Amino acid sequence: MKCLLLGAGYATRLYPLTKDRPKPLLPVAGVPILQRICEKLFPVKGLDTIYIVTNHRFAGHYYNWLRDYQNHRALPIPIEIFDDLTTSPDDRLGAIGDIQFVIRNAKIADDLMVVAGDNLIQFDLQDFVDDVRPRGTGVCVKDLKSKELVPLYGAVQLDTQGRIADFEEKPLKPRTTLISIGLYYFSRTHLPLFAQYLEGGHSKDAPGSYLEWLHAKIEVFGHVIDGEWFDIGDIDSYNKANEMMMKGM
């Protein structure tokens, strides 16, 4: 099993914090978000490689971070960085384009976990993998307990077997309190569907749009988490996450 961390965005909503460095390398309680994700990934059984995809503008930041990280501790799983060679929001490949870029260039023929690089994960990833891996392809789901914030995310409805029965990206009138949180598991047999999706001219940027398309073609399962999770999308959410982590949450 491989894991891909998405880090090629420009995070303009977090300016000026991200004007000169990538969002996944913002420190939360003194530790870069990306590093916190890696520490959660290292114990996952069967994971043998972590890939990070970056744009060309921030590639040097990731290489410097990885050098310092390796000097700080022996990494139990190798980390490889892929530069998608884009230089601005105007020519970016988008999240789905970057996934396909790494699948193609790393020649991935294994199951693939994908994690958005701005996810602050405070739960056990092994539970997610153990639940979804035997069933094929799946997404991590969080119950917000209220529909108020659901329009900011991808809304998920699950059937009694845990399959995605309906998925709607940023619905104006959500019918569920369940959302997708930017953590995915794709069976190796389903990886060719990324190229098929892009060749069909669909949105290359939003993973939610891909899930809307995907769940109509194959069975996609949802794993509902109980632990804490933060989506660092703007300065307010970043400050909140930083404050809560400083308190030891």
What mean pLDDT comes out for the span 107-123? 93
pLDDT the model gives residue 248: 66
The per-residue pLDDT for range 229-238, each reduced to its tens digit, is 888 878 888 8
Q: Which residues pair with 166 in a beta bridge?
A: 157
Residue owning tokens 């961390």: 5
Q: Which two tokens stand for residue 249?
A: 């949450």
- Residue 184's Cβ-count burial label (10 Å; 0-12, 13-18, 19+) is buried
Q: Are 140 and 181 in contact (CB under 8 A)?
A: yes
pLDDT of 17 reads 79
pLDDT confidence tier of residue 208, bands split at 50, 70 and 90: confident
Average pLDDT for 172-190: 93
Average pLDDT of the chain to the nearest whole number: 92
Q: Does pLDDT of 47 surpass 60?
A: yes
**Kindly report the CA angle at 94 between 107 and 138, in degrees rounded to 5?**
65
Whether pLDDT at 87 is above 70: yes
Task: Say what the pLDDT of residue 56 is.
Answer: 96
Distance CA 147, CA 179 (A): 10
Domain 2-246 bears CATH identifier 3.90.550.10: yes
